[in-house]
C-alpha cells in the first residue's frame, strides 16, 4: 500500500505533448479513476507511474519517496493490461506463480499462495489447464490474480473491462469493487467509460489533451463540473451545451443561438454569466434530466418551444432529441408523453442550469468576479 504523488509530470513524444504538467495526489488505499477520451494521455500517465515510460520532466513519488531511475522490476506494481497479457504458453498455475517464482520463494509457499489466490478468483478448477484455453472472462480474473498474488504496493488497471461483453462487464464492475475493498490496495484505474469511473472510483481524475480537468469524488464531478469539458464528458446521457450570444429582450436575458432562435435564461444563470463582464458569447449547460415537458413549475424556470425529432428508448430511459432551431436538445421523457414530429414546450429547471465561459470553457458562478 502506498500513496502516489505526481508533481508537474510532463511527457512529450517528439512534438506531441501527451501529458502536460499533471499534478495528482492519490491517497493510500484510494480507488482513483483516470477518465478521458482515447488519446487524452491517461494511459501514458499510468505507464509513467508503472515506470514503463519515463517522464520528460516532473517527478513521481510513492509514499513521498522519489521513483526516478527505479527499474520497472523493482517498483512492485500490480498491472492489469487491457488485453490481459496472459502467458499463453504456460498453465494457469504457472501464470499465477510467475511473480513468486522470480522472487525465488520456497516451493511450498508458492503453492499455498497460488492456491489461495485461485480460490479467491474462483479459477481453482482450471489451475492445471493451459492459460490459452481460458475464456475472456477467466483471463480477466487470472490477470488480476496474477498481479495480486505478489502483494504489490499499488494496483494499476488499464481499461480491464473493455474486452468483456456487456453483461459480464456489469458483474465484473461489482466484483472489482469488492476486490478493492478486500485488498485495501491503492488502485488506479484507466477508462474512457464514465459509467465505469462513476460507479467504481472514490475519486475521478478527468484528463483531456494531457491536462487535468478536474479531480474529485464522482458526484462532485457530476454535480459541480469545473469546466465545459467535464460537464460534457461526465453523465449519461450527456449534458446539453448551447452556445450563443447573450441578448436583452424586454426584461429577459436570452441566449440567441447561431441561426437566430432564442432560449430564455433563468435569472440565476444570468447572474452567473454576469460574473464575466463584457462577454457577449456564452455557453449554457443543462442535463437532459433537468428539462421537463410543459410550462415552468417554479418562477425561475424558463420554457422554450421545440420540435421532437427522434425518441430513443432504452429500458427505463426515454430520451427525446428536440430541435431548437437547428440545435439538438436532449431531454428525458420518462412518462412517454411526446411523439416524433410534435411541437412541444419544454422548461429548463433554473437551479440546474450551469454557465460556462465561451472563451475558455471555464465554469462561471454568480457573485464571483474574475
Partner 1 sequence: MSAIDNDQQQLGFWARITRNPKALGLCFILPTIALLVFIVVFPLLMQVYLSLTWWTPLDGVPWYYAYEGFIWFEQYGLLLTDDEFWGAIWRTVLIMIVVVPAEFFLGLGLAYLFIDRFPGRKLFYSILLTPMMIVPAVVGLMFFLLFQGSGPVNDHLGLPTSFSWLADNNRAMFAVMIADIWQWTPLMFLILLAGMLGVPSDQLLAAKLLGGSNFQNFCKIIIPRMKVVIIIAIVLRSVECFKIFDLIYIMTKGGPGVATESISVFIYKLTFGDLDWAYVAAIGLTILVGLSVLAVMGLKYMTKNPQGR
Partner 2 sequence: MAEIHLDALTKRYPTFTLGPIDLTIKDNEFFGIFGPPSSGKTSILRAMLGLMKQDEGRVLINGDDASDVGVDRRNLAMVFQNLALFPHMTGRENITFPLTEAKMPTTEVDKRLDRVAEVLHIAHILHKQPGQMSGGERQRIALGRAFVREPQAFLLDEPIAALDARLREEMRVELKRLQRENDHTFVYVSHDEEEVLSISDRVAILLEGQVAQVGTPEEIYDRPVNLDVAKLVGSPPINVLSGTLAEGGTRLALEGCDYSVAPPAGHGSEQTMFCGIRPEHMRVEDSDGPTIKAKVVAIEPLGGFTIVDASIGGQLFKLRLPGQPKISEDEILPIVPDPDQLHFFGSDGKRV
Count of residues in contact with partner 1, rule CB under 8 A:
30
Of residues 87 and 168, the one with the C-beta less far from partner 1: 87
Among positions 19, 86, 255, 272, the unique one binding partner 1 when judged by CB under 8 A? 86
Residue 54 beta carbon to partner 1: minimum distance, rounded to whole angstroms: 14
Any contact of residue 287 with partner 2 (CB under 8 A)?
yes
From CA 5, how far away is CA 7, in angstroms rounded?
6
From CA 8, how far away is CA 25, in angstroms rounded?
11
Of residues 52 and 67, the one with the C-beta less far from partner 1: 52
From CA 276, how far away is CA 272, in angstroms rounded?
8
Contact positions with partner 2 (CB under 8 A) in 139-168: 165-167
Q: And the C-alpha cell for 260?
A: 437566430
Q: Is the bond leading into 23 cis (omega within 30 degrees of zero)?
A: no
Residue with cell 433554473: 350
Of residues 314 and 370, the one with the C-beta less far from partner 2: 314
Residue 232 beta carbon to partner 2: minimum distance, rounded to whole angstroms: 8
According to DSSP, residue 200 is labeled H
Among positions 22, 50, 114, 253, the unique one binding partner 1 when judged by CB under 8 A? 50
Dihedral (CA of 40, 42, 44, 48) sign: positive
Any contact of residue 236 with partner 2 (CB under 8 A)?
yes
On the CB side of 45, CA atoms within 13 Å amount to 36
Among positions 14, 316, 341, 367, the unique one binding partner 2 when judged by CB under 8 A? 316
Here the contacts of 195-200 (C-beta below 8 Å, separation 24 or greater) are 195/236, 196/33, 196/161, 197/33, 197/35, 198/222, 198/234, 199/173, 200/31, 200/33, 200/173, 200/176
- List, edge to edge, every strand of the sheet that includes 354-357: 262-264, 252-257, 240-249, 281-286, 354-357, 363-364
Of residues 36 and 152, the one with the C-beta less far from partner 2: 36
Binding mask 92-131 for partner 1 (x = CB under 8 A): ------xx-xxx--------------------------xx
Taking each helix axis as running N to C, give the angle between helix 107-120 and helix 136-148, from 0 to 180 degrees, rounded to the nearest 10: 130
Give the closest residue to 180 by CA, choosing from 160, 164, 165, 195: 160
Any contact of residue 74 with partner 2 (CB under 8 A)?
no
**Residues 156/46, Cβ–Cβ less than 8 Å:** yes
Tell me which of partner 2, partner 1, none is bound by residue 86, counting a contact when its beta carbon lies within the kind-specific cut-off of 5 to 8 angstroms: partner 1
Q: How many other C-beta atoms are found inside a 10 Å radius of the C-beta of residue 111?
A: 14
Any contact of residue 116 with partner 2 (CB under 8 A)?
no
Among positions 20, 111, 151, 193, the unique one binding partner 2 when judged by CB under 8 A? 193
Any contact of residue 315 with partner 2 (CB under 8 A)?
yes
Of residues 147 and 261, the one with the C-beta less far from partner 1: 147
Tell me which of partner 2, partner 1, none is bound by residue 126, counting a contact when its beta carbon lies within the kind-specific cut-off of 5 to 8 angstroms: none
E-only strand ranges, 279-342 = 281-286, 291-293, 302-314, 317-324, 327-332
Among positions 76, 162, 223, 275, the unique one binding partner 1 when judged by CB under 8 A? 76
Of residues 11 and 153, the one with the C-beta less far from partner 1: 153
Any contact of residue 348 with partner 2 (CB under 8 A)?
no
Question: Which residues are at the interface with partner 2 (CB under 8 A)?
Answer: 37-38, 165-167, 170, 173-174, 177-178, 192-195, 198-200, 218-219, 222-223, 233-238, 287-289, 309-310, 312-316, 319, 321
Binding site for partner 1 (CB under 8 A): 50, 52, 72-79, 81, 83, 85-90, 98-99, 101-103, 130-133, 146-147, 150
Amino acid at each position: 500500500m502506498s500513496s502516489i504523488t505526481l508533481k508537474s509530470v510532463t511527457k512529450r513524444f517528439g512534438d506531441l505533448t501527451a501529458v502536460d504538467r499533471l499534478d495528482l495526489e492519490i491517497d493510500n488505499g484510494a480507488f482513483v479513476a483516470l477518465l478521458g477520451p482515447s488519446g487524452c494521455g491517461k494511459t501514458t500517465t499510468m505507464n509513467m507511474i508503472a515506470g514503463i515510460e519515463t517522464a520528460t520532466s516532473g517527478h513521481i513519488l510513492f509514499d513521498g519517496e522519489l521513483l526516478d531511475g527505479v527499474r520497472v522490476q523493482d517498483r512492485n506494481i500490480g498491472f492489469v493490461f487491457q488485453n490481459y497479457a496472459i502467458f499463453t504458453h504456460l498453465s494457469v498455475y504457472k501464470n499465477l506463480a510467475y511473480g513468486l517464482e522470480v522472487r525465488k520463494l520456497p516451493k511450498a509457499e508458492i503453492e499455498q499462495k497460488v492456491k489461495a489466490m485461485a480460490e479467491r478468483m474462483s479459477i481453482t478448477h482450471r489451475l492445471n489447464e493451459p492459460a490459452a484455453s481460458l475464456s475472456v472472462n477467466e483471463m480477466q480474473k487470472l490477470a488480476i490474480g496474477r498481479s495480486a498474488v505478489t502483494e504489490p504496493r499499488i494496483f494499476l488497471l488499464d481499461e480491464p473491462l473493455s474486452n468483456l461483453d456487456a453483461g459480464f462487464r456489469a458483474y465484473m464492475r461489482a466484483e472489482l469493487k469488492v476486490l478493492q475493498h478486500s485488498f485495501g490496495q491503492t488502485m488506479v484505474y484507466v477508462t474512457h467509460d464514465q459509467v465505469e469511473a462513476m460507479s467504481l472510483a472514490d475519486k475521478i481524475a478527468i484528463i483531456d489533451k494531457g491536462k487535468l480537468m478536474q479531480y474529485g469524488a464522482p458526484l462532485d464531478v457530476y454535480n459541480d463540473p469545473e469546466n465545459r469539458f467535464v460537464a460534457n464528458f461526465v453523465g449519461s446521457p450527456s449534458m446539453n451545451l448551447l452556445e450563443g450570444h447573450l441578448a436583452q429582450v424586454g426584461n429577459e436575458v436570452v441566449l440567441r443561438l447561431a441561426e437566430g432562435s432564442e432560449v430564455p435564461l433563468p435569472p440565476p444563470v444570468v447572474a452567473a454569466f454576469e460574473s464575466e463582464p463584457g462577454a457577449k458569447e456564452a455557453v449554457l449547460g443543462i442535463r437532459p434530466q433537468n428539462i421537463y415537458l410543459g410550462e415552468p413549475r417554479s418562477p425561475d424556470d424558463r420554457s422554450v418551444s421545440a420540435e421532437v425529432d427522434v425518441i430513443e428508448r432504452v429500458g427505463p430511459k426515454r430520451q427525446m432529441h428536440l430541435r431548437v432551431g437547428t440545435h439538438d436538445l436532449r431531454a428525458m421523457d420518462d412518462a412517454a408523453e411526446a411523439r416524433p414530429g410534435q411541437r412541444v414546450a419544454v422548461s429548463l429547471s433554473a437551479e440546474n442550469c450551469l454557465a460556462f465561459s465561451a472563451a475558455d470553457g471555464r465554469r462561471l458562478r454568480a457573485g464571483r468576479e474574475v
